[in-house]
């Protein structure tokens, strides 16, 4: 089973292969090589094991984040 967490791209780093993202207040640097051609600042991505694996729309990202909060889970536990 795979678990991926939505995050918003805050900045694409100089090499273009990494980005700083925000997991609802938790900021990390991730690899974006798999979706590099689709990612722009402000976009939402699904992150698994430090890699962006898919670009998703904002509505889906926000709904998923809200579900995590309602379940009482901490996204940080999965990062």
Q: What is the CATH number of the domain that holds 24?
A: 2.30.30.140
**Tokens at residue 57, please?**
């729309």
Q: Strand 18-22 vs strand 27-31: parallel, antiparallel, or unpaired?
A: antiparallel
Q: Which two tokens mark 47?
A: 């992150």
pLDDT of residue 64: 86
Q: Where are the alpha helices (DSSP H) in the chain?
A: 58-70
Domain containing 34 equals: 5-78
Tokens of 7: 């995050």
- Across the chain, how many H-helices and E-strands are there? 1, 5
pTM, full prediction: 0.87
Say what the pLDDT of residue 73 is: 66
Query: Is the pLDDT reported for residue 1 higher than 70?
Result: no
Chain mean position to CA 53: 9
Number of folded domains that form the chain: 1
pLDDT digits (tens, 9 = 90+) for 55-78: 999 999 999 888 877 887 666 766
């Amino acid at each position: 089973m795979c678990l991926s967490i939505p995050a918003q791209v805050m900045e694409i780093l100089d090499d273009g292969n990494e980005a700083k993202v925000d997991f609802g207040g938790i900021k990390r640097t991730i690899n974006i090589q798999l979706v590099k051609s689709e990612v722009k600042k402000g976009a939402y991505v699904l992150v698994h094991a430090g890699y962006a694996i898919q670009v998703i729309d904002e509505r889906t990202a926000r709904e998923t984040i809200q579900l995590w909060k309602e379940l009482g889970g901490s996204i940080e536990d999965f990062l």
